[in-house]
Amino acid sequence: MAEATIIVRNRSGLHARPAASFVRAAAGFGADVRLCNLTRDPGRTASAKSMLAVLGLGVGHGDEIRLEATGADADEAIDALLALIAGGLGEGTAEVIGE
């Protein structure tokens, strides 16, 4: 299993277009990829390959999330998704207040 945490820095979090980019990227891997919004509900995870599940986590700007992946390409999936999030999911990034 591979896992990592990251703070979401794009202004709209994982909503609409950025969530679609995230889900599309996750779906490109054979690994089972799960997402958890540590800021809002650390006990709940959702499939990173489901648009409704990702939107249901309510990930916003400044939220800390955890990615977990299991399967043959788990490490590659985590690395690619971390890079996508760090790059702002196509929206650029903004500083998180308080950092």
Strands, DSSP E only, in the chain? 2-7, 32-37, 45-47, 64-70
The residue annotated as part of the active site, out of 2, 6, 11, 15, is 15
Closest CA to 9 of 79, 63, 57, 90: 63
Order of strands across the sheet that contains 2-7 = 2-7, 64-70, 32-37, 45-47
Is 61 one of the annotated active-site residues of the chain?
Answer: no
Is residue 86 classed as helix, strand or coil in its secondary structure? helix
Active site residues: 15
